[in-house]
Structure 1
Amino acid sequence: MEIRPILSSLHKHRVPALLIVLEIALACAVLCNAVFMIGQCIAGVRAPSAIDEQGLSVISLGGIDEAHVESGMARNLAALRAIAGVQAAAAISDVPLGPDIWYDGLTARPDEESQINSSEYFLGSGGEQALGLKLLKGRFFSAEEFADSTLLPSHVSSSHVVLINESDARRMWPGESALGKQIYGDNAAWTVVGVVADVLGQDPNGNGPAGMYSSIFFPQRPSASLNHYVVRSAPQDRDRVLRDALQVLGKLEPGAVLEGKIYADMRADYFADTRDMAWMLMMVCVVMLAVTALGIVGLTSFWVGQRRRQIGIRRAVGASCANILHYFQTENFLLSTAGVVLGVVFGFAVNVYLMENYEVSRMPWYYLGCGALALWLLGQGAVLGPALRAAQVPPVVATRSV
């Protein structure tokens, strides 16, 4: 089929054609970036974490007399560990993805300016086992290292040792072993004694899973800062163990404010806004595609009505139904091609803007390709109905219009 008659017809209908091209371009740009952001949201929600998420229960304590924290903590932990089904229990400053967290900017050298913002967790004795940390290299903390540890007012551990995530170890010392290396932050330094599998923590910079795999663990002796108890059990015992733990602590600490949660629920709460964002972006995609499809159907139907006499003449001189169908499909293909090319440029520009202003990651090229393909298919599908109606215009229409 010759393209020249189609281009001539589009030239006569410049404004409607331009509107279709711009609509497709806008839809392509929005679709590519929205789908990319949905993918990032889903990746964050589903990101694995190397702790026993399904077996953990967390109990927060408030209103405790700081003068009796150390003796009370030993008593409370002994009672928790005595509950049937409890595999491990420990005190901790906070849990990964919990509501309150401390951050610290860490470097591999004392004079380095580029920092890694890591989530900080202060573990009481047995905290590694209670969380279910998976040791990859080195060792966990020794009893003497817990005894040395204190918590300074600036929330920086004065202990000389630290556990770090595997991802942090790779970022700080690529191709090298992290064991024995020093990390620096806030005029202090710590020696890495162990590398643990990546624990998913809070992301201070909004960089998705890559930023959430940055956690460090310090040993901490009993203090008021360790105001959470982590209880680990088999998943099938978890709910009962949490109820029993609340009852036990309620008797031992009658004046304390207790709040117990299943860790899996805490993770779900943390990602609630992310899931809502993903659903909202999905709705934006659906509405944008629906509006684009309706726009193509509407304008194509209008053009069919305006060119019924032209279609009838073509039928009268021998054009088949297939010829008419291919004509409108080719016409829409040209419009869709112009739209998706412009949309790919818009989509890339939008991603660059989001990267510079909202710390969004760079969008892989295949999102643009898939978005362009989706709009092409949408255009061909949307024009099919009006094109089929055009193909059914009888040759007698030309005679009636003379």
Structure 2
Amino acid sequence: MDIRPILSTLRRHKTAAALIVLEIALACAIVCNAVYLISQRLERMDRPTGVAEERLLRIQTVSPGKNRNDSARVQEDVQTLRGVPGVISAASASQIPLGGSSSNSGVRMSPDQKDNSFNASVYLGSEDLVETMGLRLIAGRDFLPGEYQNMETIEASFDEGRIAVAVVNRRFAERLFPGATPATALGKQFYSWGNAPITVIGVVEELLRPNDYGNGQYSMIFPVRPHWSWSNYLIATEPGRRAEVLKAAVAELQRVRPGRVVLKENTFAEIREEYYRQDRAMAWLLSGVILALLIVTALGIVGLASFWVQQRTKQIGVRRALGATRGQILRYFQTENFLLTTIGIALGMALAFAINLGLMKLYELPRLPGWYLPVGALCLWLLGQLAVYGPARRAAMVPPALATRSA
């Protein structure tokens, strides 16, 4: 099709054409970045925690009294929980993945190293913590009973109560010992609490941080029984008995220590739901913005095309009288829209990158992948063609005789 008549017509309607081009450019830039932000949120929400979420329960309590820091009390509670019908295993833990509040410590390669190599989240827990959480060991072993210490011992004397061994996640091992496999990381040493070396005895596939503090999802587990007034108790049970076991476990804890306050009692599915609530809301909000923007863009194209059809009734009639078919008239308006959309998309791609650079600078977001732009362009081309089809079809249906009488 000869596009010279189309270009000539667009030059006579520069303002209207420019407005459509600008609208498409803005839509392209915003939609590409919004879709990318949504994909980032969904990817973040889909991160594996490393724990067996389908069977895990958490009870968080605070005990009354002045001397509430007591590892023996915590161990007594753990033993009580292990006796609840339906409980497969139970353990105390200083924190849990997606729990929000995070305890972290710097990691060094030597005792005299001034700056930390990186920061890692520190998990403390009683016996059976690795088993209860359902962590998958890919190298090495779990802690032995004799390797566990009470937190009181660590606080009383850092040298005597030093941390001798640790289980780390894969990313920790790869970050601290570049080029090492999980197996070759075993036996290697690092420094964190104090100046005594800590030996890696096990590597788990994944153990997510309680929150997104710090750079990288690096985690380590120390065989230290927590003793604080607030306690996290983790319970592994069969997926079908979670509600029943949770209710019974809370009742049993309150029975053995009536004054305790239960802060939280939930399944891990509920923990995940709560942690990612804002991400989910943001994804829905951005989806609504995209939908609204596409509707506005489509309505703008429909409105302008309908206006031009009305303005060009005589021109359409003349072309029909000279032998133009309905298909040619239809293609004329579709080609016109395609040209405007293409110009708008070209400007929108440049604007999309500019917006992404700003987001990278302000919010440390990754660079917008290049493939988002052609996908966004294809969507806007399809949107343009669908939006213009109705007005273009009405133009193609105008009878030649009626069009000429309207002059």
Instruction: State TM-score, norm by structure 2.
Output: 0.90
- Greater mean deviation of Cα atoms: 168-177 or 270-279: 168-177
Amino acid of the structure 1 residue aligned with 2:274: D
Deviation at 1:103, TM superposition (A): 2.8
Q: How does 1:264-275 map to 2 (within 5 A)?
A: 264-275=269-280
Partner of 2:188: 181
Partner of 2:388: 383
- Deviation string 1:165-203 (CA, Å, 9 cap, x unpaired) is 112322333321322333445765533221101123344
Amino acid of the structure 1 residue aligned with 2:35: V
Amino acid of the structure 2 residue aligned with 1:141: F
| Matched residue SS, 1:32 | helix
Q: Distance in 2 between matches of 1:115 and 1:19?
A: 54
Change (3 A) 1:315 1:112: farther
Q: Are the counterparts in 2 of residues 148 and 159 from structure 1 also a CA contact under 8 Å? A: no
Structure 2 gaps, min length 5:
none
Partner of 1:50: 50
- Deviation string 1:282-303 (CA, Å, 9 cap, x unpaired) is 1011001000000000011111
Change (3 A) 1:330 1:67: closer
Over aligned residues, Cα RMSD in angstroms? 2.5
Q: Distance in 1 between matches of 2:235 and 2:139?
A: 25
Deviation at 1:248, TM superposition (A): 1.1
Change (3 A) 1:103 1:140: same
Partner of 2:136: 134
Aligned pair partner of 1:329 in 334, 339, 353:
334
Q: Distance in 1 between matches of 2:225 and 2:106?
A: 23
Q: Does 1:218 align with 2:225?
A: no
Q: Are the counterparts in 1 of residues 124 and 226 from structure 2 also a CA contact under 8 Å? A: no
Q: Are the counterparts in 2 of residues 98 and 266 from structure 1 also a CA contact under 8 Å? A: yes
Deviation at 1:108, TM superposition (A): 5.3
Amino acid of the structure 1 residue aligned with 2:126: G
Q: Distance in 2 between matches of 1:152 and 1:355?
A: 46
Partner of 2:92: 91
Partner of 2:60: 60
Aligned pair partner of 1:192 in 192, 195, 200:
200
Q: Distance in 2 between matches of 1:100 and 1:60?
A: 13
Q: Distance in 2 between matches of 1:212 and 1:282?
A: 28
Aligned pair partner of 2:324 in 315, 319, 323:
319
Q: How does 1:60-209 map to 2 (within 5 A)?
A: 60-65=60-65, 66=67, 69-106=70-107, 111=113, 116-147=118-149, 150=154, 158-176=162-180, 177-185=184-192, 190-204=198-212
Deviation at 1:313, TM superposition (A): 0.9
Q: Distance in 1 between matches of 2:108 and 2:393?
A: 66
Amino acid of the structure 2 residue aligned with 1:103: N
Deviation at 1:135, TM superposition (A): 0.7
- Deviation string 1:109-136 (CA, Å, 9 cap, x unpaired) is 7758685443322112221111111111
Deviation at 1:84, TM superposition (A): 1.4
Change (3 A) 1:276 1:212: farther
Aligned pair partner of 1:367 in 366, 372, 376:
372
Instruction: State TM-score, norm by structure 1.
Output: 0.91
Q: Are the counterparts in 1 of residues 68 and 229 from structure 2 also a CA contact under 8 Å? A: no
Q: Are the counterparts in 1 of residues 61 and 230 from structure 2 also a CA contact under 8 Å? A: no
Q: Distance in 2 between matches of 1:324 and 1:201?
A: 61
- Greater mean deviation of Cα atoms: 178-187 or 312-321: 178-187
| Matched residue SS, 1:163 | strand
Q: Are the counterparts in 2 of residues 205 and 359 from structure 1 also a CA contact under 8 Å? A: no
Q: Are the counterparts in 2 of residues 83 and 241 from structure 1 also a CA contact under 8 Å? A: yes
Amino acid of the structure 2 residue aligned with 1:324: I
Partner of 1:303: 308
Amino acid of the structure 1 residue aligned with 2:222: F
Deviation at 1:107, TM superposition (A): 5.3
Q: Distance in 1 between matches of 2:340 and 2:113?
A: 57
Q: Distance in 1 between matches of 2:341 and 2:365?
A: 28
| Matched residue SS, 2:167 | strand
Partner of 1:253: 257
Q: Are the counterparts in 2 of residues 49 and 198 from structure 1 also a CA contact under 8 Å? A: yes
Amino acid of the structure 1 residue aligned with 2:246: L
| Matched residue SS, 1:365 | coil
Deviation at 1:359, TM superposition (A): 1.7
- Greater mean deviation of Cα atoms: 60-69 or 381-390: 60-69
Amino acid of the structure 2 residue aligned with 1:83: V
Q: Distance in 1 between matches of 2:213 and 2:398?
A: 60
Deviation at 1:105, TM superposition (A): 4.2
How many residues are treated as equivalent by the alignment? 396
Q: Distance in 1 between matches of 2:348 and 2:113?
A: 45
Q: Distance in 1 between matches of 2:142 and 2:333?
A: 70
Q: Distance in 1 between matches of 2:348 and 2:377?
A: 8
Amino acid of the structure 2 residue aligned with 1:139: R
Q: Are the counterparts in 1 of residues 92 and 225 from structure 2 also a CA contact under 8 Å? A: no
Q: Distance in 2 between matches of 1:63 and 1:82?
A: 20
Q: Are the counterparts in 1 of residues 93 and 123 from structure 2 also a CA contact under 8 Å? A: yes
